[in-house]
Amino acid sequence: MSSEFRPLTMLTEDELAFQGAIREFAEAEIRPLVSQMDHDAKMNPDLIKKLFEMGLIGIESPDKFGGAGSTFTMACIAVEEIARVDGSVSVLVDVQNTLVTNAMIKWATDKQKDKYLPLLAQKWVGAYALSESSSGSDAFALKLRAEDKGDHYVLNGHKLWITNGHEASLFLCFANLDPAKGYKGITGFIVEKDFAGFTVGKKEDKLGIRASSTCELIFENCKVPKENVLGEVGKGYKIAIETLNEGRIGIGAQMLGIAQGAYNETLKYIKSREQFGKSISEFQGVQFQLAEMRTQLEAIRLLVYNAARLKDAGQDFVKEAAIAKLYASRAAEKVCSIGVDLFGGNGFTKEYPIEKYFRDAKIGQIYEGTSNMQLQTIAKMELAE
């Protein structure tokens, strides 16, 4: 059995079957679209419909809401397998499952769940709107303001760098109701795309994951019903922190998939490329670099799935999530860079897929908490023990 299809010993039989089904789907339905979607910087709408049909958009959502009622680990498997083919599609699936749906399952009221979870599982893409131009790593410096108008709230301000912004019908937005209270004034809101005063603005032209939309959100006296507060008033900071802790494992899974895809392409290439009368895979220098790539892959895999298992078991996973994301994003960039090197001049052209893996890997060290923020989290938790 080739290294590409070697079963992961840490996965159960059901998980392996799920992994195989997602792999087949990704190869048949996603791979033929990757190059064009990257060129156009646009997700294929028919593909999004197929993601819903495959049940990949509501993996953890309970059966009664039309979801798969499965585990966080299953969501990570889906993200990894899709990222192996395309990082852009994988982040759509990742944000939907590990951020939006997770937050709704944990913090939404029963009425909100009844209304929104079936939509999120079957036809609505969701987005998680925390970042702003002045609040990236300093997430709680956000300036989006919410004002209590009695029977509703009014939101004014902007969000920036919001993944799925173009495709989303539902946005989990964080705004400050009482700036005098600092982060304790932050509150989560469920905003529908057609709410009056809400507009999706400019879509960013990005280096990598180009088919994944990253957009500005504009709130101009946006009216939000009182019943659309997510969780408690003033508890938005808690929702944001806890949700991002889970989401970081998903990004680790995305980086694992990107690195695995880059490795697979590199392995095929070095076996077929000949120099000096033989395959370049026969040169020891090339073999050493391949071994480095493989070692990095195995380390990422163990860290990511260890964190996912801890989350599913209800155990503390915050430090492990930070470690997984930190290492996975760094290692994925390294693996993809080695791949470009081994492709030589071909690796610097768009004729071969390795350059896209390299571009897609870079975002892992930036979104859902930069590498420096992961280092800070890890150090603080170590010092607190």
Encoded tokens for 165: 């912004």
Are the folds of 3-124 and 127-235 the same? no
Q: How many CA atoms lie within 13 A of 178 on its CB side?
A: 7
On the question of pLDDT at 8 being above 50, the answer is: no
More confident residue, 137 or 88: 88
Q: Where are the domains of the chain?
A: 3-124, 127-235, 238-384
CATH 1.20.140.10 fits 238-384, yes or no: yes
Q: What pTM value is reported for the model?
A: 0.95
Encoded tokens for 285: 């220098």
Maximum CA extent, the chain: 79
| Catalytic residue of the set 60, 81, 320, 368 | 368
CATH number of 127-235, picked from 2.40.110.10, 3.40.1710.10, 1.10.3210.10, 3.30.1020.10 = 2.40.110.10
Residue 11: per-residue pLDDT:
85
Closest CA to 239 of 229, 254, 252: 229
- Per-residue pLDDT, averaged over 372-380, amounts to 97
Residue 139: per-residue pLDDT:
77
pLDDT in tens, 305-363: 999 999 999 999 999 999 999 999 999 999 999 999 999 999 999 999 999 999 999 99
Residue 137: per-residue pLDDT:
86
pLDDT band at 301 (very low <50, low <70, confident <90, very high): very high
Amino acid at 132: E
Q: Is 163 exposed, middle or buried (0-12, 13-18, 19+ CB in 10 A)?
A: buried
State the pairing for strand pair 152-163/145-148.
antiparallel
On the question of pLDDT at 45 being above 60, the answer is: yes
Q: How high is the mean pLDDT of the chain?
A: 95
For residue 227, indicate whether it is catalytic. no
pLDDT band at 241 (very low <50, low <70, confident <90, very high): very high
On the question of pLDDT at 2 being above 50, the answer is: no
Cβ-contact 129, 199 below 8 angstroms: no
pLDDT in tens, 68-86: 999 999 999 999 999 999 9
Q: Is 246 exposed, middle or buried (0-12, 13-18, 19+ CB in 10 A)?
A: buried
Q: Give the chain's count of helices (H) and strands (E).
A: 12, 10
Cβ-contact 130, 142 below 8 angstroms: yes
* Beta-bridge mates of residue 198: 219
- DSSP code string of 244-288: HHHHHHHHHHHHHHHHHHHHHHHHHHHHH-EETTEEGGGSHHHHH
> Of all residues in the chain, what percent carry a pLDDT higher than 70?
98
- Per-residue pLDDT, averaged over 129-150, amounts to 92
Q: In this structure, which topology does domain 3-124 adopt according to CATH?
A: Butyryl-Coa Dehydrogenase, subunit A; domain 1 (1.10.540)
> Who's near 259: CB < 8 A, 6+ residues apart?
293, 296, 297, 300, 328, 331, 332, 335, 336, 357, 361
Residue 136: per-residue pLDDT:
81
On the question of pLDDT at 6 being above 60, the answer is: no
